[in-house]
Structure 1
Amino acid sequence: MDRPLAFNLLIPCYNNREGLVRALRSVAYPADQFGILVIDDGSDEPIAQHWLQQEIDGPVSVLRLPRNLGITAALNAGLEWVERNRPARYTARLDCDDVCALRRFYEQVSFLDEHPEIDLVGSWCIFREPESGYEYLYKTPTAHDDIKKGMYFRNLFIHPTVMWRASKQKYPDDFPHAEDYGLFQEMLKEGKGEVIPQPLVTCALDPNGLSRKNRQEQLRSRIKVVRHFGENKWLTSLGVVKLLLLQYLPYQWVLRLKKIL
């Protein structure tokens, strides 16, 4: 039997063709050992397979959704598609406009191959505002036990940096705009996660992005995640208090605090 692909890379896209190409061109790995699935979440101008193959040289497929369903439904559709059509050992994520370091996928595949006890791996990242040039290095704890504690206060796995062991995962749909936080907490209930202490992805800070537009709803969902998965009452209470306070802080203040902390 042929050895399965190393990983499938899921990239959702909605009306961002330029950002999609920018992200795809940063992906480096032997072409016969992985696959890319672009989930076109009902873009006004459909993303066609032949157009993408003219723009990039890589193993890319397109799953077109009939209308804009949102990132949670788009990612779940992508997970179902790769499970049926292109099994792989691992699943990885990337977003439009985000750029991978040259060694990202080599590092993460090697890490999971060499650490069978780890189910989920992320990395540090650089957040950058393309217009202003403002950027900062986002660092988190790296070891599982420290991550478990830290997850009461923030999502230590930045979504476009992660790779995990493929199984029948599904993003929860009851934590709007925090679906990744819920998924990773679910993984950590039974398995282990670690973070590679290198900035393997540069993530674009978009002033019109979903996270900023839906910040209040995202914070409410994060509170639900902490309450749902929290096992330590004291840490759960502290995490909820922190998130409640963040609802009253201006977004620019939060960015500056993240750079300092």
Structure 2
Amino acid sequence: MKSSSASARAPHPAPPHAPQHPPEAAAPNGSAAPHGASLADVAVLMPAYNGQADVERTLASFSESAPVHVLIVDDGSTPPLVAPSLPNLSVEIVRMPQNGGIERALQAGIEALAARGFRYAARIDAGDLTVPQRLAKQRAYLEAHPHVAALGMWAQVVALDGTPLFMLAPPAEPHAIRRIRFLRACFVHPSMMLRIDAVLAVGNYRVAYRSAEDLDLFLRLMERYDCANLPELGLYYELNESGISATKRRRQIASTLRLQLHYFNAANPYDWLGLAKNLLHFVTPYGALRRIKRVVFARDPQPRAGG
């Protein structure tokens, strides 16, 4: 889960195993994403802080059969970000007066898209890459499932040089997500497509839970709507561990613990397990966790389910 606006990084090539034009997978309702379906009510929402090259590389990965509108929220970049000129994409930039963090950038982005009449906001972060027809597939699912307010997809986690590390394959069904929502990450935030009216109905992104703004939003959405995942690859998610500070990590864990306590269900054993897991993360030094990750990756280099 990325919890701050993307920082500046050197560009790297697309993951070597990323398919250029993968087969179009069937949606869970049995129908494939409609070929050439309109995306006039969909906008890509990307908060970004510096990293012009990452922004351009990420947007260049979009391949849809219909024109795509992109809203970049420039979170105080120096120099300011410039809208790239790319085929089939119209790119607009909203500039924040100063760097205020991803929570405020996402708030502003949702409000701007609502004012422009868009129904759906498709999240992505600078540095990540998308798969062809992702937007059409997600929109088709949401049109067919009006009670689903947020829809994610699976993600292949890659290193900064594009090397595949592991697969994030969270559960697809809303009931399973509600059951284990605190035991593991049930959504890959940059893979999400959101109903803008539902996001606004529950109060938009908030600053109250810094570095856990996505979990805060999803928990509030699940009180009134369903949230789900398409069980197929939708994103290549760039893991940038060197950019994660210990201060930010502890803030994220503290925010998550506050959310766990607020929504805690004593009758759900997975809530207990999730609380224990997060407390363990809180007291374990970040360096030790990174060493554990390296061992796990070395033993299991193939894509796997993760959370």
Q: TM-score, normalised by structure 1?
A: 0.88
Corresponding position of 1:195: 229
Q: Which of 82, 85, 92 is equivalent to 2:122? A: 92
Corresponding position of 2:26: none
Structure 2 residue runs without a partner (length 5+): 1-37
Q: CA RMSD in A?
A: 2.4
Structure 2 CA distance for partners of 1:115 and 1:29, relative to 1, 3 Å: same
Residue 251 (structure 1) aligned with residue 290 (structure 2): yes
Corresponding position of 2:175: 145
> Which secondary structure state, in structure 2, belongs to the residue aligned with residue 190 of structure 1?
coil
Residue 174 (structure 1) aligned with residue 205 (structure 2): no
8 Å contact kept, 1:14–1:40:
yes
Instruction: List aligned pairs for 1:162-241, cutoff 5 A.
Output: 162-167=192-197, 168=200, 169-210=203-244, 214-232=248-266, 234-235=268-269, 236-241=271-276
- Structure with greater proportional helix content: 1
Instruction: List aligned pairs for 1:51-66, cutoff 5 A.
Output: 52-53=84-85, 57-66=88-97
Q: Which of 35, 45, 50 is equivalent to 1:15? A: 50
> Which secondary structure state, in structure 1, belongs to the residue aligned with residue 241 of structure 2?
coil
Corresponding position of 2:137: 107
Corresponding position of 2:74: 40
Q: Which of 153, 174, 177 is equivalent to 1:123? A: 153
- Give the Cα separation in 2 of the matches to 1:56 and 1:132: 24
- 1:116 is displaced (CA, Å) by 1.7
How many residue pairs get aligned? The number is 254
8 Å contact kept, 2:156–2:167:
yes
Corresponding letter in the other structure for 1:99? L
- Give the Cα separation in 2 of the matches to 1:213 and 1:22: 29
- 1:69 is displaced (CA, Å) by 0.6
Q: Please, which moves more after superposition, 176-185 or 55-64?
A: 55-64
Q: Which of 238, 242, 259 is equivalent to 2:277? A: 242
> Which secondary structure state, in structure 2, belongs to the residue aligned with residue 196 of structure 1?
strand
- Give the Cα separation in 2 of the matches to 1:222 and 1:121: 21
8 Å contact kept, 1:127–1:202:
yes
- Give the Cα separation in 1 of the matches to 2:95 and 2:276: 41
8 Å contact kept, 2:44–2:70:
yes
8 Å contact kept, 2:212–2:252:
yes
> Which secondary structure state, in structure 2, belongs to the residue aligned with residue 8 of structure 1?
strand
> Which secondary structure state, in structure 2, belongs to the residue aligned with residue 76 of structure 1?
helix
Corresponding letter in the other structure for 1:190? R
8 Å contact kept, 1:92–1:163:
yes
Structure 2 CA distance for partners of 1:90 and 1:212, relative to 1, 3 Å: farther
8 Å contact kept, 2:158–2:166:
yes
8 Å contact kept, 2:167–2:305:
no
Q: TM-score, normalised by structure 2?
A: 0.76
Structure 2 CA distance for partners of 1:212 and 1:114, relative to 1, 3 Å: farther
- Provide, for residues 60-114 of structure 1, a one-character-per-residue CA deviation record: whole Å limited to 9, x for no partner: 1001112111100111111111111x21221110000100011211110111111
Structure 2 CA distance for partners of 1:121 and 1:89, relative to 1, 3 Å: same
Corresponding position of 1:82: 113
- Give the Cα separation in 1 of the matches to 2:257 and 2:142: 30
- 1:239 is displaced (CA, Å) by 1.7
- 1:155 is displaced (CA, Å) by 2.7
- Provide, for residues 5-28 of structure 1, a one-character-per-residue CA deviation record: whole Å limited to 9, x for no partner: 331211011111111011101122
8 Å contact kept, 2:205–2:213:
yes
> Which secondary structure state, in structure 1, belongs to the residue aligned with residue 160 of structure 2?
coil
Q: Please, which moves more after superposition, 203-212 or 146-155?
A: 203-212
- 1:218 is displaced (CA, Å) by 1.0
